[in-house]
Amino acid sequence: METKQFTNPDRNRYYGLRQGDVVIPQYQKERICEVERLGFLNNNSVRLRDLETGELFDYVAEHCELIMKVEDTEKGKGLKTYVITLSRKFPVSHKRAGEQTNFAHLLGNALFVKEDELSVCKHKKHTIRANFPLWENRIAQIQNGEAVLSVRQWTGKPYQSKQVEIARLTAEDGVGIQELKLTDLSKPTTINGQRIELPLLAKNDGLGFNDWFYWFEKYDLSKPLAIIHFTKFRY
């Protein structure tokens, strides 16, 4: 007789993990994995599948950082999907070219760590993109319940590997947009009528200020940028 596999529906075992969750192994942050199955008779063991290589390996459940719950894959089912990709590595034009950004991990912190704990926890609450009018229209559709935002990363080289979804967000999650006008990367800016210091903007974007500066120093700042929020946080 085949034994029915335990699925941990209430997330009260296996440190809150379920089969199908997307996670990052705490000591192998360069990997993005899916929980293949829960350990048998071991509440602290899971089998993971590397989403880039397909490799299966056992790992300690307690040391898995949850990025996306399996239940969230059904969010916005049937709605239009807008995709936004987060860089897995610093771009070739950056001084840290090729190094891991850890954006998936930082986004997970923003989505799952309590707000009062984020002050001492690195996080990525938003991303900054060009073409504000385009994203203003897309985010409006998401806020009206007509679309969903699919946050993804390339498993390997961009456009030469498959993408993995690391978050699927709707209006209920707080998806939003604010206009960002930058004229000088060494001076504060104003967002929604408030003076915002750029190191704070960089921190919420998942970067230290120097890394953020080198990321955006070659951007076209003559046109407004879009701050695309993944949570209910706003400036």
Tell me the CATH number of domain 14-68, given options 3.40.50.300, 2.30.30.140, 1.10.8.60, 2.70.70.10: 2.30.30.140
pLDDT of residue 178: 98
66 backbone dihedrals φ, ψ, rounded to 5°: -70, 130
Quick check: helix, strand or coil at residue 22?
strand
Q: Is the pLDDT of residue 46 over 90?
A: yes
Comparing 126-135, 158-167, 190-199, 200-209, which segment has the lowest mean pLDDT? Answer: 158-167
Considering only CA atoms, which of 36, 32, 55, 33 is closest in space to residue 45?
36
201 backbone dihedrals φ, ψ, rounded to 5°: -60, -45
Element of type H or E holding 210: helix 209-216
If you average pLDDT over residues 79-95, what whole number do you get?
Answer: 95
If you average pLDDT over residues 71-99, what whole number do you get?
Answer: 93
Q: Is the pLDDT of residue 19 over 60?
A: yes
Which residues fall within 8 angstroms of residue 160, CB to CB, at 6 or more apart? 154
pTM for this structure? 0.89
Q: Is the pLDDT of residue 40 over 90?
A: no
Average pLDDT, the chain: 92
pLDDT of residue 1: 45
pLDDT of residue 74: 87
In the chain, % of residues over pLDDT 70: 98
Antiparallel, parallel or unpaired: β 225-229 and 126-129: antiparallel
Region of 85 (left: φ > 0; alpha: ψ -120 to 50; beta: rest) is: beta
Considering only CA atoms, which of 80, 185, 180, 195 is closest in space to residue 132?
180
Ordered by start, the domain boundaries in the chain are 14-68, 75-229
Q: How confident is the model at residue 20 (pLDDT cuts 50, 70, 90)?
A: very high
17 backbone dihedrals φ, ψ, rounded to 5°: -90, 150
Q: Which of the listed ranges 108-112, 121-125, 129-133 does the model predict with the highest average pLDDT?
A: 129-133
